[in-house]
Amino acid sequence: MTQSKIISFIVENKPGVLFKVTNMIRRRCFNIDSITVGTVDHKEISKMTLTIDGDESTVEQVVKQLLKLIDVLDVNVWSPNEAMSRELALVKLSNNAKKLLNKVSDSIYRIIDTSADAFTLEVVGTPEEIDSLLERFPYSEVQEIARTGMTAVRKC
Amino acid sequence: MVEMSGSDALIEGLRREKVEAVFGMPGGANLPIYDSLYESGIRHVLVRHEQSAAHMADAYARVSRRAGVCMATSGPGATNLVTGIATAYMDSSPVIAITGQVPKTMIGRDAFQETDIMGVVASITKNSFQPLQSGDIPDAVKKAFFVATSGRPGPVVIDIPKDVQTDRAEMVFPEKVEIRGYKAHLALDHAEIERAAEILARAERPVLWGGGGVSISNASEQFQAIAELLMAPVITSLQGKGTFPEDHPLSLGPMGMHGRAESNKIVQECDALLAVGVRFSDRSTGTFSDFMPNGKIIHLDADPSEINKNKRVDVYVVGDAKQMLAEIYEALCRRFRQREAPYPWLDRVKEVREQLANIPAYAEAEHELSGPRIMKTLREVLPAKAIMTTGVGRHQMWAEIHYKVLKPRTWITSTGLGTMGFGLPAAIGAKVARPDVPVVDLDGDGSFMMTENALGTAVEEQIPITAIILNDHSLGLVEQWQRLFYNRRYIGVKYPRTPDFVKLAQAYEAEAIRVESLKDLSKALEDAIRSEVVNVIEVPVSAEEDVFPFMPPGMSLKDTIYGGRKETTIF
Ligand SMILES: Cc1ncc(C[n+]2csc(CCOP(=O)(O)OP(=O)(O)O)c2C)c(N)n1
């Protein structure tokens, strides 16, 4: 049975580390949904978050293979309900779409850029929230989308 | 603190690691390193191809339980090492490969002889280091040796740009290094040790399965103590061959694709399997789901990622095999009294042995120079301490089945990668590590020809090894597959014109002889291991003789073919 897991791990912030991680994932044929990375803690270490849909033994292997990499310092595995997770999306829409926004009651977005024919939304939320917001806009109104992939911390 | 160049610091680092010999070849990008080697007192063994350098370092490491060092220049020198590094990785051997790199400012510009060796070896090394300041070299060397030799050993590359080799810096040589993301061994889980002991103490049909990890951690004694306490039959992986003396009454021999029929059968009947330092390779277990569906499996290994990788186990402990086995032995002694033979399980083992004693695979072939007979002859002639290395193919499988290995680290073979061409350079590396014992490369003509130019190295460097070539003018093992599974449609397997190996060896100024009988083989081998020179013994063999038992690829241990042709006994 597959289940969705968030794997949050810290790595040395050194050249080549991102490559070692992604190369291992490729080499072992792990099928991941997203991976994000950013430095934390005075730039000495980075935190990476990957999400994966897999059975128990696949998740177990991902964790063990990550830990085997010398530049990986610590690994945590969470179910979605154990973590606070967020993703950022930037969505450029044609001005026609503005009227659709009125129907959206969520406060997960704000407009950060506008022009004569388009505007850009910054959306922060869980991947599902972002998905459902995006579904409201017809394909024809969407000019460009960029999403960061999910990052997460354990719930307080 | 001392001021010196990066390359001097590298060599000083090697000296501090007590490196006696390095195997390699110089070129543009590692000339400073070679210049520093000039007065170092470290022996340099010049190879004819860098692949051989890596195999030599690998075998040196496997025999001595210390890191083996090889060197190459950038680009083609470095890529020539790759097969050897991959071989060492699969068999967990601590090889340190030191490569020259183009100067820092040229990296990424597709400079002459630039290869991104760090990228190339990422998935076949335990880790790799590329010091970008000469002052970082002492630390990189210390870390490389620490990582390569500790925990589950494995190869490590140190890639040094040429300007980093020549730049001077104040060098600090650390006595110890710590790598925060790396623990050689985790603390043992004592509760699991107790659980393992409990299962073994209750088992009525225990079996021990020893792999390469047993010799790596020098744990043969502890392994044997448990076997004898439980009176449990012992099987090994191909890599683990010799971790338990194969002339011991409890020894059944290797299990797997070309394992002993007894081992393949008995393991299926056991109710508790103690697997130590093995990685549940498909070549050992056959189809994972069919392997041991009933009995309990206890897995001891140095590498947490090996646990449950191919096969779910009931109990596992991660750590150093020697320590784990010693603790299990103690835990067993607390709840178990020395078992006395005979007891029903050993009776059953005896019965299986008798049933299988005359299967076609074990029957004496009519012709004199048959594989099994040659193996028995080699064992008769070679002293127990002699080291055998092998190529890959039928000859290796015959040795797996019929050549009894009596001591740990005297059987050096490429199992995980199955690298043809390993045997001859491995023999040279082994002999450098152990000049005091006879070293024999058991080879096939195909494998031998892949790295035959290492004969030049052996002769020049006066490394007196003996290569025995079983010449069937064929890639024999592949031919066997084409015979059994492709209806004898032989393609790409015949070598009708292999060179005259006697003349070839003589051209390299080695002693050489072709033998036509077992008696002559004995005599030639006796002479060879007594001599102080490099010897080649060519033994003509038939390409038609299949090696059995054989568990066909993709099948299970229960499908092992006992011998004869396709139609014969399957159990
Ligand atoms: C480098 C490499 N290439 C190809 C193979 C595939 N292969 C496995 S065994 C074998 C034949 C080996 O022939 P030989 O060394 O003459 O030994 P024999 O089987 O005849 O004893 C081949 C080609 C391999 N294992 N390694």
Q: Residues B382, B519: one domain?
A: yes
Q: What is the DSSP string of B372-428?
A: HHHHHHHHHHS-TT-EEEE-SSHHHHHHHHHPPP-STT-EE---SS--TT-HHHHHH
Quick check: is B57 in a domain?
yes
Cβ pair B182:A60 closer than 8 A? no
Based on the domain organization, do B95 and B197 belong to the same domain? Answer: no
Q: Do residues B92 and B154 lie in contact, with contact meaning Cβ atoms separated by under 8 Å?
A: yes
Share of chain B above pLDDT 70, in %: 99
The neighbour count for residue B150, using CB atoms within 10 Å, is 17
The per-residue pLDDT for A104 is 63
Task: Please identify, among A78, A101, A129, the residue that sits at the C-terminal boundary of a domain.
Answer: A78
Tell me the pLDDT tens digit for each residue of B34-65: 999 999 999 999 999 999 999 999 999 999 99
Mutation probe of ligand 1 site: the residue of B420, B471, B482, B539 with most atoms within 8 A of C-beta = B420
* Residue B100: per-residue pLDDT: 98
CA atoms within 13 A of residue B88's CA, in its CB half-sphere: 39
Label residue A106 by pLDDT band (50, 70, 90). low
DSSP structural state of residue B556:
B
Query: Mean pLDDT over residues B369-385, rounded?
Result: 97
Residue B180 lies in a domain: no
Q: Which of B477, B538, B542 to mutate to test the pocket of ligand 1 (most atoms within 8 A of CB)?
A: B477
Contact call for A73 and B122, based on CB within 8 A: no
CA distances from B354 to B236, B349, B358, B362 (A): 20, 9, 8, 12
The pTM of this model reads: 0.95
Whether B567 shows a pLDDT value over 50: the answer reads no
Q: Does B571 map to a domain?
A: no
Band of residue A98 on the pLDDT scale cut at 50, 70, 90: confident
Model confidence at B540: pLDDT above 90: yes
Range of the domain at A112: 84-154
Question: Is residue B503 pLDDT above 70, yes or no?
Answer: yes
Give, in order, the Cα–Cα distances in Å from B425 to each of B46, B49, B419, B463, B464. Answer: 12, 10, 12, 11, 12
B136 in ligand 1 pocket by Cβ < 6 Å? Answer: no
**Best CA proximity match to B32, nearest among B3, B54, B11, B57:** B11
Please tell me what DSSP assigns to residue B360: T
CATH number at residue B243: 3.40.50.1220
Among B325, B356, B387, residue at a domain's last position? B356
Both B264 and B345 in one domain: the answer is: yes
Element (H, E) at B101: strand B95-101
**Within a domain: B185:** no
Residue B568 domain-assigned? no
**Are residues B350 and B380 part of one domain?**
no
B276/B136 same-domain check? no
Same domain for A104 and A71: no
Return the structure tokens found at B333.
Answer: 């002694």
Are A147 and A101 members of one domain? yes
Domain that holds residue B379: 371-547
pLDDT digits (tens, 9 = 90+) for B263-293: 999 999 999 999 999 999 999 999 999 999 8
Each residue's pLDDT tens digit, B215-239: 999 999 999 999 999 999 999 999 9
B311 touches chain A (CB under 8 A): no
One domain, residues B264 and B352: yes
- Residue B282 maps to a domain: yes
Strand partners of residue B235:
B209, B253
Identify whether residues B166 and B195 lie together within a single domain.
Answer: no
Q: Which amino acid is at B556?
A: S
Residue B552 lies in a domain: no
Whether residue B444 sits in one domain with residue B379? yes
Please state, as a whole number, how many other Cβ atoms lie within 10 Å of the Cβ of residue B315. 22
Q: Please, which pLDDT band fits residue A17 given cuts at 50, 70 and 90?
A: very high
Across the range B249-270, mean pLDDT stands at 96
Query: Looking at ligand 1, which atom is closest to the CA of residue B419?
Result: 26
Mean pLDDT of chain B, nearest integer: 96
Residue finishing a domain among B140, B171, B202:
B171
Residue pair B557/B290 in contact (Cβ under 8 Å)? The answer is yes
Do A70 and A98 share a domain, yes or no? no
Average pLDDT over residues B383-390: 98
Whether B423 lines ligand 1, by a CB cut-off of 6 Å, is no
- Give the pLDDT confidence score for residue B568 in this predicted structure: 45
Tell whether B309 is within 8 A of chain A (Cβ). yes
Mutate to test the pocket of ligand 1, among B238, B370, B392 (most ligand atoms within 8 A of CB): B392
Total domain count, chain A:
2
> How high is the pLDDT of residue B565?
55
Q: String of b and e for B111-148 (b: at least 16 CB within 10 Å)?
A: eebbbebbebbbebbbbbbbbeebbbbbbbbbbbbbbb
Determine, for residues B122 and A23 on separate chains, whether the beta-carbon distance falls below 8 Å.
yes
Whether residues A74 and A89 share a domain: the answer is no
Strands in chain A per DSSP E: 3-12, 32-40, 45-54, 72-78, 83-94, 109-114, 118-125, 142-147, 151-154
CB-based contact, B568 to chain A, within 8 Å: no
- A55 interfacial to chain B (CB closer than 8 Å): no
Do strands B411-412 and B387-390 pair parallel, antiparallel, or not at all (unpaired)?
Answer: parallel
| pLDDT range class, residue B566, cuts 50, 70, 90 | very low
Residues A62 and A129 in one domain: no
Using DSSP's 3-state secondary structure scheme, residue A53 falls into strand
Question: Quick check: A91 pLDDT over 60?
Answer: yes
Among residues B356, B387, B404, the one where a domain terminates is B356
Res. A107 pLDDT band, cuts 50 70 90 = confident
pLDDT for B569 equals 42
Answer yes or no: do B350 and B402 share one domain: no
Q: Which secondary structure element, helix H or strand E, spans residue A66, and what is its range?
A: helix A56-68
A147–chain B nearest CA distance, Å: 28
Q: What is the CATH number of the domain that holds A17?
A: 3.30.70.260
pLDDT score of B363 = 83
CB-based contacts of A144, cutoff 8 Å, min separation 6: A90, A91, A92
B202 and B329 part of one domain = yes
Residue B345 has a pLDDT of: 98
Measure CA of the first residue to CA of the last residue in chain B; give whole Å: 68
CATH number, domain of B60, equals 3.40.50.970
Q: A63 and A37, same structural domain?
A: yes
Interface confidence, given as ipTM, is 0.89
d(CA B94, CA B110): 31
Question: What value does the mean pLDDT take over residues A59-78?
Answer: 96
Per-residue model confidence (pLDDT) at position B365: 79
User: Chain A partners of B118 at a C-beta cutoff of 8 Å?
Assistant: 16
The mean per-residue pLDDT over the stretch B203-225 comes to: 98
Structural domain contains residue B179: no
Whether residues B350 and B376 fall in one domain: no
Residue with tokens 């950038």: B74
Same domain, A71 and A12: yes
Please indicate, yes or no, whether residues B236 and B122 belong to a single structural domain of this protein.
no
Number of domains comprising chain B: 3
Residue type, B238: L
Of all residues in chain B, the percent with pLDDT exceeding 90 is: 95
CA-wise closest residue to B381 among B527, B534, B532, B538: B527
CA-wise closest residue to B8 among B38, B29, B28: B38
Contact residues, chain B, for A67 at CB < 8 Å: 304-305
CB contact under 8 A, A19 and B303: no
**pLDDT tens profile A111-154:** 999 999 999 999 999 999 999 899 889 999 999 999 999 999 99
Tokens 């010449």 — which residue? Answer: B471
